Amino acid sequence: MRVLIVDDERLARAELRRMLASHPGVAIVGEAINAAEAALQVEALQPDLLLLDVQMPGGSGFDLLAALDDAPEVIFTTAFDQYALQAFEASALDYLMKPIEPQRLAAALERAAARLGIAPTPSAAPRKLFIRDGERCWFVRLEDIRLFESEGNYTRLYFDGAAPLLARSLLQLEQRLDPQQFFRANRRHIVNLAAVKCIENGEGGAVALRIEDMTVEVSRRRASALKQLQEF
């Protein structure tokens, strides 16, 4: 995801650069210190997303958006709370107050990626995962986990006859997994494709994955992605 930072404050731009460095799917293509400079960079660099301040010398962030024929997605980053309604009327993805919280920025970037149709880029994934559930602990290889099942903000992992609960959300884990091996079947399940015994086709285009003694339904939206993986 190509990001342009627009902020007249040098320290604010530096802080955004620092925070974005922990997001491997983000590439900072440029920086601008005012609306006029940003308009030129948008045309030249074609960013996917603007991290945009509101109040800047020579014109506001809203002035910039009004001047663009085809504006990128926008996340406002500002120290002023009175422009939030105007920001969302401008179809902003989010309105982040300075100092920006890393969790809020991460969530906003996820929304931007979803709006743009960009799949999350997995970080350098650990080959093993440490799991503690109550008094028991496991140190398990990712490839040995056949199924991840969401339970609210927790995830149940199925491997070697065990099914412990991990204090991480399914979305957090998905960002660490190789999408060529681990398939998001629906909102609640990620399946290890190496553990799939067969693909069951039902009535009306329904699709399910058989994993040992379990069957996981594939949502209609994800069925086309599964077909692409089969073709690959």
Lowest mean pLDDT among 106-120, 139-153, 180-194, 205-219: 106-120
Mean pLDDT for the stretch of residues 88-102: 91
Cα angle: 52, vertex 46, 103; to 5 degrees: 40
Same fold, 2-116 and 128-231: no
What is the reported pLDDT for 178?
A: 81
Fold of 2-116: Rossmann fold (3.40.50)
| Range scoring the smallest mean pLDDT among 152-161, 170-179, 210-219 | 170-179
Q: How far is CA 192 from the centre of its chain?
A: 20
- Beta carbons of 36 and 59 less than 8 angstroms apart: yes
Write out pLDDT tens, residues 24-71.
889 999 999 999 999 999 999 999 999 999 999 999 999 999 999 889
CA distance 224 to 229: 9
CA dist., res. 99 & res. 84, Å (int): 16
Could you say which of 2.115.10.20, 3.40.50.300, 3.40.309.10, 2.40.50.1020 is the CATH number of the domain covering 128-231? 2.40.50.1020
What gap in Å lies between CA 137 and CA 128, rounded to an integer? 13
Q: Where are the domains of the chain?
A: 2-116, 128-231
**With bands split at pLDDT 50, 70 and 90, how would you rate the model's confidence at 217?**
very high
Kindly report which listed range (102-111, 117-126, 195-204, 222-231) carries the lowest average pLDDT score: 117-126
